[in-house]
């Protein structure tokens, strides 16, 4: 309930950190990608540079186009993936709540380092499919549960054309639909 000042926090795969007040210092959030399948991720911190991330991971898969790397954003305008290019520079930081697809050449860990968002994060959505991710290093309720008035679907019902979230399931290579009729998440 009070301010926390730290130098840094390192978070292991599957951990969660919730700040009830101000929070300063760097957070390094590690996530394990257990296969070489495609995953959908977003940076759970503010300020992670994309070029630094790509260089540090060093394990991004190569595409059929030799310059395409296994990191991409979805472009609703062209209904296509926009792949990170080998040797890119000046790309900038991951935008909060902006989802990306990622594929590694070998299974392993990826890490995001930056500061932690403690305020609401707004992310513009457009018609069509939107790849939106969790901008926090903590859990966000997706549907009904103990506090159904404070889940992402209920809070955003008025701006959604369909109150459904589609989660990529890399194990089955399909999307899992979650809506208000789904079991609690």
Q: The tokens of 9 are what? A: 């926090």
pLDDT at res. 68: 94
Find, among 102, 6, 19, 109, the residue nearest to 63 by Cα.
Answer: 102
How far CA 19 is from CA of 23, 62, 82, 124, 138, in Å, comes to 7, 38, 34, 24, 9
pLDDT at res. 66: 81
Per-residue pLDDT of the chain (185 residues; tens, 9 = 90+): 566 677 888 999 988 888 777 778 899 999 999 999 999 999 999 999 999 999 986 789 998 888 999 999 998 888 889 999 998 999 999 999 999 999 999 999 999 999 998 888 888 877 778 888 899 898 777 765 555 666 777 777 787 777 788 888 888 888 888 877 766 54
């Amino acid at each position: 309930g009070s301010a926390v000042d730290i130098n840094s926090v390192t978070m292991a795969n599957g951990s969660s950190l919730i700040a009830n007040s101000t929070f300063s210092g760097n957070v390094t959030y590690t996530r394990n990608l257990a296969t070489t399948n495609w995953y959908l991720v977003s940076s759970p911190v503010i300020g992670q540079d994309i070029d630094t991330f790509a260089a540090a991971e060093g394990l991004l898969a190569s595409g059929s186009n030799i310059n395409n790397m296994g990191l991409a954003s979805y472009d609703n305008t062209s209904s296509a993936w926009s792949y990170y290019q080998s040797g890119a520079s000046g790309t900038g930081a991951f935008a909060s709540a902006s989802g990306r697809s990622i594929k590694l050449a070998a299974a392993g860990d990826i890490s995001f380092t930056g500061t932690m968002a403690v305020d609401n994060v707004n992310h513009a959505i457009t018609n069509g499919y939107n790849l939106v991710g969790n901008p926090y290093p903590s859990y966000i309720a997706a549907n009904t549960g103990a506090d159904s008035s404070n889940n992402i679907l209920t809070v955003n019902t008025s701006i959604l054309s369909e109150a459904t979230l589609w989660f990529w399931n890399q194990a089955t290579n399909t999307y899992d639909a979650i809506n208000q009729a789904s079991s609690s998440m």
